Amino acid sequence: MTNIDPNLRRLVIIDVDGLRRDVFRAALEAGHLPNVERIVGGREGRAACRVDALSTAPSITFTAQASIFTGQHPGQHGIAGNESFDRLGRISSGRPRHFGFDVGYTLAVDDAVRVFSDGLASQLLSSETPTLYEIVSANGMTSAVAYNMYARGADAWLPPDIIEIARFTKGPGRLGLEAGQYDGRMLDCLIAHLDTGTRPDVLTAYFMGLDHHSHVNGPASQPAYLRDVIDPQLGRLLDALEARGMLAGALFVLVSDHGQIEVAPDDRHSIRLGFPFDRELGHLFAALGLDVHDVPGEDPACDAVMGLNGGLAHVYLQHRAARWADPPRYAEDVLPAAEAFRQMNEGGKYEESLQGSLDLILIRDAEREGWQAEYRAYLGDGRTQPLGDYLTAHPELDYADPVNRIRLAASALTGDLILVANGREGFYFGGPTTGVHGGLLLAESEAVLTFARPSGSPDQIARLREMVAGVVSDRCASEGDRQPSVADMVPAALALLELSE
Ligand SMILES: [Zn+2]
């Protein structure tokens, strides 16, 4: 392979949580992002190659960030959501364990702290899937990661401190920390690290504030935050790199993990398990005679567990005559729950307020086909249909590459049922919020993925575009003709840097 540039040896990743692709492109074209222009070569992106990448299923932070930094789909890396249930107890000595990484949804706040105090999310990430940092380290390169939850293999991990996380997630207010301040501190921390004299070959700057701001204020607030907070912070980063001679010859990646949709921040549209008030889904499980895991910190010695992930929810069901590690029986354990959700959705049974709250009920037969069994659309009375056929008959659902994304998500850590909320009518799983994501709709699924070489010559940029397009299209073709994904960042970057996986 010809070397696109012998001096291309540094990778700078700008990771903006929750940034919608349409918002990013419109702001750039409108001339609102002068510092992004320094990276991509003006509004036209003369120094850049952009990929129309999609998020994972669910389109949620911990799952999509894991795909960004391993280059693998959720079925491989094993992070099935911000909330998931590890029925096999992979990192808990075989004891089943519920994980709630995000304070916003979590039942157990401890997990959200442990993500940053002892790398809990990195621990759950499959040891079979190396991170970008482990790969570059094997190639003799160093790396530093600011504020991201995944840093396995990095030489320097700069996590936010716990007090900061707590103040940030409690939101603005007397003791709260504004999103912009939080992002500013991330950059302070990164620049302080460079001030020690280290010159990492791979640098990740993770901006978490925009997503938080957009959850609270709705996605319509993204353009102003991008222009007034993110872009000036990028200016600081570029100046800091330039002053240290680290800008020339750097490859940049601008990436986001998912988008957001606007929903109604009220009780009617937020679908919850209901502890301690408002039982909601709790009624359905009670009617089935199932003890659902719904109390914070409760030992999951129960029959059913849910993972609430915004637009999607996992429903884990135990083989009631065996253990969690055994696949549940399709007829006895799984079908009755699917039917109950259908009756709730179609007729308001169990919980009248949840009638019409679901777009889809997906079901798999792990008993016969294993944990990577195909998810099919549940039609009622025990009948199912291939998801692709169902969606062909329901064009109004208009999801982004749904069949491939669901297929590539399946693992022992996904639910026996996957519920898709009716996001177009503003329904979602979790507590009330104004902006949400997690589902399969375009605006929550489309992500930013732009490769840029600020100091590249026209020939070098042409070669960069050719290589990225080639790597991404080959991989999509080899994986069932899927659409480009955030999981394509790592293989494309490695090809540009001429590193082996
Ligand atoms: Zn996110």
What residue ranges define each of the domains in the chain, with the CATH number in brackets?
Answer: 10-79+125-262+441-496 (3.40.720.10), 270-432 (no CATH)
pLDDT in tens, 115-130: 998 899 999 999 999 9
Per-residue pLDDT, averaged over 271-275, amounts to 75
With bands split at pLDDT 50, 70 and 90, how would you rate the model's confidence at 107? Answer: very low
Distance in Å, CA 308 to ligand 1 centroid: 15
**pLDDT tier at 42, thresholds 50, 70, 90:** very high
Least confident piece of the model among 130-139, 169-178, 338-347:
169-178
Q: Is the pLDDT of residue 89 over 50?
A: yes
Give me ligand 1 centre to Cα 366, in Å: 29
Cα(68) to centroid(ligand 1), Å:
11
Integer Cα distance of 498 and 496 in angstroms: 5
Residue showing tokens 């659409």: 483
Rounded CA gap, 226 and 16, in Å? 9
Mean pLDDT calculated for residue range 485-500: 95
- Alpha carbon of 88 to ligand 1 centroid (Å): 26
349 Cα: distance to centroid of ligand 1 (angstroms):
34
Residue 430 DSSP one-character state = S
Asked whether the predicted pLDDT for residue 30 surpasses 90, the reply is: yes
User: In Å, what is the CA distance from 339 to each residue of 30, 254, 354, 378, 384?
Assistant: 50, 43, 15, 8, 11
Calpha distance 45→332 (Å, rounded):
56
Q: Residue 415: is its pLDDT beyond 80?
A: yes
What residues pack around ion ligand 1 (CB closer than 5 A)?
17-18, 61, 211, 257
Q: What is the pLDDT of residues 362-375, one digit of tens each?
A: 999 999 999 999 99
* Cα 333 to averaged position of ligand 1 atoms, centre (Å): 33
Distance 72 CA to ligand 1 centre (A): 17
* Cβ-based neighbours of 329, under 8 Å, separated by 6 or more: 319, 320, 321, 367
- pLDDT tens, residue by residue, 434-477: 999 999 999 999 999 999 999 899 999 999 999 999 999 999 99
| 396 has a pLDDT exceeding 90 | yes
List, edge to edge, every strand of the sheet that includes 358-363.
304-309, 312-317, 417-421, 358-363, 376-380, 383-386
Q: Once rounded to an integer, what is the mean pLDDT over residues 51-70? A: 98
Mean pLDDT of the chain, nearest integer: 92
Q: Is 104 a residue whose pLDDT tops 60?
A: no
pLDDT at 5 over 60: no
pLDDT for residue 281: 87
Residue 209 region by backbone torsions, left for phi larger than 0, else alpha for psi between -120 and 50, else beta: alpha
Ligand 1 centroid distance, CA of 447 (Å): 10
Q: Indicate whether this model's pTM tops 0.85.
A: yes
Ligand 1 center from residue 383 Cα (angstroms): 35
